[in-house]
Amino acid sequence: MCEECRELVDPKEVKLEEVFAKYKNSKGALIPILQEAQEIYGYLPEHVLKLISQATRLPVAKIYGVATFYAQFRLTPIGRNVISMCLGTACHVRGGAKVLEAIEKEAQVKDGQTSEDGRFTLEIVNCIGACGLAPVISINSNVHGKLVAEQIPEILAQYE
């Protein structure tokens, strides 16, 4: 392949083609294909769903149905920093709602959304598994616990 041609090839699409080859003759491989495609792209863009449809010979509507049914799949890009806000029983009882309010205000984001500047994505979860630290958030797998709303601006400032 010529050098100019190599520059025109999207490396993500090359990886996606490798995924398709890996599952070529596997029945029921849609979920692993979606998982690996999301790992490559960070989410599942519309053009990727169409490529998956072509590769699997499944209608785009079916693929979209599976991707929207499972919470693990994203159809929009995520922020550079993912905030998981626990609102399980312990976090709720210990003031999680006020911490959530502070996050929404400071990061300018609501549950399931990404801030306009692409800095934060907020997701509310039922449990992080750190009930002794309630209320607790996780940002990019870094856990911050025993929170009060007033701490949120300083914590979020650490994540540019």
Is the link from the previous residue into 135 a cis peptide, with omega within 30 of 0? yes
Q: With helix as H, strand as E and coil as C, how does the chain read?
A: CCHHHHHHCCHHHHHHHHHHHHCCCCCCCHHHHHHHHHHHHCCCCHHHHHHHHHHHCCCHHHHHHHHHHCCCCCCCCCCCEEEEEECCHHHHHCCHHHHHHHHHHHHCCCECCECCCCCEEEEEECCCCCHHHCCCEEECCEEECCCCHHHHHHHHHCCC
Task: Quote the domain boundaries for residue 140.
Answer: 81-157
In this prediction, residue 47 carries a pLDDT of: 96
pLDDT tens for 39-50 read 999 899 999 999
pLDDT tens for 19-39 read 999 999 888 899 999 999 999
pLDDT tens for 43-79 read 999 999 999 999 999 999 999 999 999 988 999 899 9
In this prediction, residue 66 carries a pLDDT of: 96
In this prediction, residue 7 carries a pLDDT of: 62
Looking at 14-119, which runs of residues are DSSP E strands? 81-86
Domain termination residue (choose one: 29, 48, 69): 69
In this prediction, residue 160 carries a pLDDT of: 84
In this prediction, residue 2 carries a pLDDT of: 57
Instruction: State whether 99 and 121 are in the same domain.
Output: yes
pLDDT tens for 102-155 read 999 999 999 999 999 999 999 999 999 999 999 999 999 999 999 999 999 999
Could you tell me the maximum CA-CA distance found in the chain, to the nearest angstrom? 63
Number of structural domains in the chain: 2
Instruction: State whether 87 and 65 are in the same domain.
Output: no
> Is residue 150 assigned to a domain?
yes
